[in-house]
Structure 1
Amino acid sequence: MSGMNVRYKRVGFTFLEIMIALAIISIALIAALRAQSQSIRTAAEMAEKVKLLNMARMKMAEVELYGFPDTGEEEGEFEDYPGYKWKTEVKPVSSSLLGIDAGGIELSFDELRLVKLTIYDENKENILFELESLVAKKE
């Protein structure tokens, strides 16, 4: 078998091609993991916001349940949610508060109160949620 030259057919990928493919896959996986982690963080933030909204709704319903609120401030803690504090500020409603231009005359709306509810963290360092509502006097 003189002159027997064995030629090999190229089968498979070269080392360089494999390394490039692995680099592309790695970059894609890192991007996917970052997107997943951001999604989880966003879901947790939304769950917290929904909880705060429900707490505010419950407190506002409680304020309205006791009838037409007196002006002033009141604060306390949520019994069902330790670590959260609330504060309500009730103000009489006037034309300037509503943004009504009465030609320099201050109009008073005795049948309305502005209730501002603020939810804080345990140390009252951060305002977590605020809600304002007008409450009308029921006859």
Structure 2
Amino acid sequence: MSTMWGLTVRGICEYENKILLLKIRSKSAHHAGKWEIPGGKVKKCEFFDDALKREYLEETGLDIDIVSLYNVVRNDYTACKTGEEVKSIQLIMKVTCESDEVAVSEEHDDYGWFTQEEVDEMIENEFLTLPAVNAFKK
């Protein structure tokens, strides 16, 4: 069986020196209750920048501008629906927004704007998903 490769794109959004994180819903099959960087999978034939803007709008209600590439991490997982092993490349982008008023989707229970120090503490206390932890490592 051949290995599936996936592409995920996430955006680290800073607004007034605080970083937006979303709390994964408690009923989720993966990382329930952990905090993550907004974003998601790139669909077939979709440009990754369009995917990030779409995912951000779906998950947060925010319109974003993409500024730069921040990091690239790999996150392997087993697909829930098919049971296939997926090797996922995650592009972590720096993004900006015009507002801090977030409307979370059903995928998440909560959101928060955190200082870099607070994010570092959350990483230490294992409140973030492993891909998010790796994304913040430079």
Where on the TM-score scale, by shorter chain, does this alignment land: which range? under 0.3
**TM-score calculated relative to the size of structure 2:** 0.20
Higher relative CO (Cα under 8 Å, sequence separation at least 6) belongs to 2
Larger Rg: 1
Give the structure with the larger strand fraction: 2
